[in-house]
Structure 1
């Protein structure tokens, strides 16, 4: 079983020549609606596919290189898989809200009679989200290896892989959650600081807050500029941190998949090598 997924993935990324520039370029590409993330995911899962096959190489030199001709189809497949699996917890939440709205007093009475339901509901949603993330990660990796969308939607085959090493996959899912939370925290702090400094400067420029023309108008205009600038900067920072987090998580996922002896995989419906080994021992 592979250990230290974060350390290994980080070593692979930081050991790649010009990795900072590549991540910045990926960030710029990710700002393009939909198409940008198709390219980013196609690029990163292509790199993860290599390590799953046992081929250790640095980050590909060209983002749009498309050496295997599957950059865009791979990225689109992964994007579709991530979207489809993310629907499960969303629909579960909507179902609960719908029952609450339709049931009205019945739902309220139930929650009052069973107080633990107030806690159980968000916990169930959180658990469903975690399960969806694991299925989405493994499904995306399978689609990248087989080169077809259908391979990433085989629930039974995905579950077989998850069950074999759920602890390792949970570490990767936890890593993804922590990196996402860290990104949100940094962005919120930065936004507060930038807007606070902008308002302070505007207050000073306006002569201590004198709300008279033209100072009052100038203060409002400058404050609006600071808000817009901070939003743009934070959007760029969010994209950069999302790209970094995705790079680490996807590379770690490639290492996790390598334990399944990908070089000896056959068709998408065939048993994996470890299943065949287990069958031969019975």
Structure 2
């Protein structure tokens, strides 16, 4: 039985992945911000308490991530897989209590921070896995990181790519610095989930008009994540760019200098 932590597992793609992995006999720990959604997710999964549990936490803040890691490590001495499906979509120039834009804080930095804090538990697994879901961002060195990490006057169209591409850099960093750990990035596809509520207006309009034609099902979007957790025949770091096409994956081969620069900033911001 594997112990799998899914950040964002109380709804959408994360919940679908939890359902599929629970059917395999695994133990699931779900993280989410809304306790009501967490309880609803557990009711839907209909599993014994020792097979599925939920922790309410705010991963947009450093303190929230640290609290989540402490509670997880108090209850679990090892983790076989950590899956990051959390995400926000916004074009507003708002800031978290740490002075960071929430798109950056949630869609990348909390993933780095939480994973770093949970590495002791991951290292106790036979073959630990870390997976991060993003939009369709291939791992190529063509993003401008000059605005990283403050993203002053945040603009979604301009800033989303460097934020999400940093997940690829972190997957490469994990593979290099944590021997035996397999890390990857998975394109979430175009599934219609709760994340669309805070999306820029033009994305919501497009979703309403084109949704019936272009949206993937949550089952399709969750497929590659579930397969990557189930299987141990893939070498990291990899990027899965096509939902439900597990065999179609791209090696993550990025500038090691850029990776180290981004990881140094991440370490400075979080202390992890």
Q: TM-score, normalised by structure 1?
A: 0.27
Flag the structure with higher strand content. 2
Q: In proportion to residue count, which structure has more helix?
A: 1
Q: Comparing both chains, which one has the higher relative contact order based on Cα–Cα distances under 8 Å and sequence gaps of 6 or more?
A: 1
